[in-house]
Amino acid sequence: MCGLHAGLGLAASPAMQDAATHEQLAAQLRKIQQQDPMQLLPASQSGEASRHAPKDLLSQSDILCFGGLATLVPKRSVLRIPPNLAPRMQITPGATLMGWSEFFAQNRGWITTVELSQGQAEGKLPLAEDLTKSLVDNPNLVVATYQGGPISLMPLKVPPPAAAVDPKTEKSKP
């Protein structure tokens, strides 16, 4: 017990301060507002920003629907739609909207996912040749995913072909 009291006696006593007054708080607020960097930014041109903004979620998405359940996936994430599964790309009246993971868990029988790298999704890297061949023969609807979630597959960005240089003449070959 004595050790407990001795340990408490070694602790520094708290510093006592008066509470801030309303005037002090108001002065601090004025100072902070005057130094706010956001006030220095120019006003945005709302016409230009709204031109690039998506109109609505549905215009940026494809719908998958089956068995009274529906989900949204990004445009260009569905890589293959077999003709017999095309009707499942439309919403049916009364369908319950749910997240991708729940929908996919209940519909694994007719949906196949293909995991892409970020470079492939951005169109910087091509898809593997064996993957593109397997897509043709796949009887399921194929959805591109990145880390388990659906992702758009952007068109391949092919760099412009560099002109071949003849080492003997150091001139470009046509």
pLDDT digits (tens, 9 = 90+) for 89-144: 999 999 999 999 999 999 999 999 999 999 999 999 999 999 989 888 899 999 99
Q: What are the CA-CA distances from residue 160 to residues 49, 157, 163 (Å)? A: 31, 9, 9
pTM given for the model:
0.61
Q: What are the CA-CA distances from residue 20 to residues 23, 26, 28, 98 (Å)? A: 8, 10, 10, 51
- Kindly give, in sequence order, each residue whose CB lies less than 8 Å from that of residue 65, ignoring residues fewer than 6 positions away: 71, 88, 89, 90, 91, 92, 95
Computed over every residue of the chain, the mean pLDDT equals 82
What type of residue sits at position 91? I
pLDDT higher at 136 or 39:
136
